[in-house]
Amino acid sequence: MDMQCRLVTPTPIQYLGTGPGGQRIYIKRDDLLGFSFGGNKCRIAEVLLQDMKEKGCDFFVSYGSRKSNLNRVVGTLCKAENIPCLVITALEDGEKEDTFNSRILERMEIQSVFCDKSHVRETVEQTLADLREKRYHPYYIYGDSTGKGNESAVRKAYAAAYEEIRQWEKQNRIYFRQIFHASGTGMTQGGLVAGQKAASGQEQIIGISVARNAARGAAEVARFAGVPADQVCFLDEYLCGGYGKYEEEIERTIEHVMEQYGIPLDPTYTGKAFTGMMKWLETHGNEGDPVLFIHTGGTPLYFDFIEKNMI
């Protein structure tokens, strides 16, 4: 199946409402990408699978937490294309709690290898060695066991999304002042920054950290983008204590956005980033400025959220 056709791009950009300083907030619905519950990982998984084929590999090895949207989408895509695949799942402090994402993988009978967060590198190396022994040519999602080597492939995904945004801006004669989104590994923001550089775009691209501190996060975005780290805006002040942690304010944002707009967010990624954006807009920008929030998906995590918050 052709890539554009499977993903259903470009995704819509819709007007949402006014921000705390009278900004005009728009949202790009990458949560509506047309494969396996959507999200930014659809675009990323497509380019990674392409990269795997170009490198002559025949076994896909993914990596993530039990909440991982990436593992879900990669697993589904490998199923659809009949490519053998395995997901390495890092458990923090031996956590065993499943999620809708991990349950979707189980349902598809995708093989999982569990490891402690402190033993990722050894587990990746061991897994790749075992597969080579079985005469496979494994492809590791982050390049080598230190996580480097696939940057130029990955950046294509969100460079293309940036181009969609640019087309929309030209057609609608609305030029965003800022583009906000949840930023984790830097694959999404790196692509956006690379796309913007290639097109000489002027918006501020603001990654709201969901896990890393500003120095590490910006360095990783810069690596994926192929630009110096001082050209990257990666904010860690809305982290709320770390990956997966959240407060009542984020819960209220999720409830509000669902009730007002019918759009699901989640506490780990999009709910945290949307809350951070609203705080940033309280003290920055001007009345009437158009700003864009990229909804990076994670729909199954909304269901984990409401299941956890049942009264």
Ligand X SMILES: *Cc1c(COP(=O)(O)O)cnc(C)c1O
Contacts of ligand X in 186-215 (CB under 6 A): 186-189
CA distances 179 to 67, 113, 206, Å, are 25, 36, 6
- Min CB(152)–ligand X separation in Å: 15
Contacts of ligand X in 120-179 (CB under 6 A): none
- Min CB(58)–ligand X separation in Å: 25
- β-bridge pairing 24-29 and 13-18: antiparallel
- Min CB(203)–ligand X separation in Å: 18
Binding segment toward ligand X, per CB under 6 A, in 76-84, 131-139, 275-283, 290-298 = 290-298
d(CA 296, CA 299): 9
- Min CB(135)–ligand X separation in Å: 32
d(CA 167, CA 141): 30
Site string for ligand X, 61-80 (x = CB under 6 A): --------xx----------
- β-bridge pairing 204-209 and 233-235: parallel
- Min CB(191)–ligand X separation in Å: 8
- Min CB(133)–ligand X separation in Å: 31
Contact (Cβ atoms closer than 8 angstroms) between residue 22 and residue 89 = no
Number of residues counted as binding ligand X (CB under 6 A): 18
- Min CB(273)–ligand X separation in Å: 7
Nearer to ligand X, 289 or 293 (CB): 293
Site string for ligand X, 243-282 (x = CB under 6 A): --------------------------xx------------
Nearer to ligand X, 168 or 269 (CB): 269
Binds ligand X (CB under 6 A): choice among 36, 71, 150, 296? 296
Structure tokens at 132: 């080579």
d(CA 195, CA 68): 25
Binding segment toward ligand X, per CB under 6 A, in 99-107, 232-240, 251-259, 293-301 = 293-301
Nearer to ligand X, 36 or 183 (CB): 183
Contacts of ligand X in 1-40 (CB under 6 A): 39-40
Which letter, b or e, does each residue of 68-99 get, where b requires 16 or more Cβ atoms within 10 Å of its Cβ? bbbbbbbbbbbeeeebebbbbbbeeeeeeeeb
List residues binding ligand X (CB under 6 A). Answer: 39-41, 69-70, 182-189, 269-270, 296-298
